[in-house]
Amino acid sequence: MQNKIIHWFKYGSPQSFYPLAGKMLPWFVTLAVIFGSAGLWLGFFVAPTDAVQGEGYRIIFVHVAASWMSMFLYLVMAFWAGLGLALNTRLSSMMASAVAPTGALMAFISLWTGALWGKPMWGTWWVWDARLTSELILLFLYLGFLALQAAIDEPRRADKAGAILALVGVVNVPIIYFSVTWWNTLHQGASVSLTKSPSMAVTMLWGMLLMALCFWMYSIAMTLMRVRVIILERERTSEWVKHAVA
């Protein structure tokens, strides 16, 4: 029994996490493809037409999944950045840097699909309401984090500066989420939340959840892929990287 215990903390070192990430990567890619095809099939061929918005509502299957992930990934990024700042663990900061570009992509997709949805339904591409504005700030926080890290040459200092920005920006995430209940906005309230039963047809809901799972798996896969590159880049002077690359 004793020798069956896995020493989880050993994966906190970049050297042992590098091969583990490589092993996990294809699984998450596969899951993303499976959930994505199931979600899109359900969303485009099975889910019924909406009574008010007709076929146009189907952009929800991309829009909501991207918006959820953009907020969730920011929390993940801030968590790793904070952990790196507090404990000085190298891998934590690398994870934060690896999450950021995918988070920025999700925020961008959320805003863009939102604009495409807003024009035919609301009658405008953009309006400065609290939900839309705070999501735009989220995109800028991601871009600011990336720019700040890119501007500082020394990785450890870049990690620290980025971590402080990431942690300060965390305040924005609950503001995005609750903006539609705290202030009057053009954006409608949540259709799906933890506190009440969802206000949408069951097949629509399943399509949306499957797409959210797809985006989740995709984000993990991209993060693992990116963190492997960051590990190699930052540890390039070490013996094990020289062996791995050779």
Partner 1 sequence: MKARHKRIAIIVGGLASLSIAAFFVLNALNSNIALFFTPTQVYAGEAPKDRVFRIGGMVRDGSLQRNSMTVHFVVTDTAKDIPVAYTGILPDLFKEGKGVVAQGKLGPDGQFIATEVLAKHDANYMPPEAKHAIDQAQAERMEKTLTRMVAKPTPVP
The answer to the question of residue 37 lying near partner 1 (CB under 8 A) is: no
The answer to the question of residue 171 lying near partner 1 (CB under 8 A) is: yes
Closer residue to partner 1, CB minimum distance, 87 or 147: 87
Q: Judged by CB under 8 A, which of 161, 186, 232, 244 binds partner 1?
A: 186
Closer residue to partner 1, CB minimum distance, 20 or 86: 86
| Residue 68 and residue 60 in contact, taking contact as beta carbons nearer than 8 Å | no
Instruction: Write out the DSSP string of 58-102.
Output: GGHHHHHHHHHHHHHHHHHHHHHHHHHHHH--HHHHHHHHHHHHH
Distance CA 240, CA 246 (A): 10
Closer residue to partner 1, CB minimum distance, 39 or 226: 39
Best CA proximity match to 197, nearest among 209, 205, 207: 205
The answer to the question of residue 20 lying near partner 1 (CB under 8 A) is: no
Subset of 194-233 contacting partner 1 (CB under 8 A): 199-201, 204
Q: How many other CB atoms are there within 10 angstroms of residue 205's CB atom?
A: 16
The answer to the question of residue 137 lying near partner 1 (CB under 8 A) is: no
What is the closest distance, in whole angstroms, from the C-beta atom of residue 100 to partner 1 in the complex? Answer: 19
Subset of 75-134 contacting partner 1 (CB under 8 A): 82, 85-88, 120-124, 127-130
Q: Judged by CB under 8 A, which of 189, 233, 240, 242 binds partner 1?
A: 189
| Residue 205 and residue 181 in contact, taking contact as beta carbons nearer than 8 Å | no
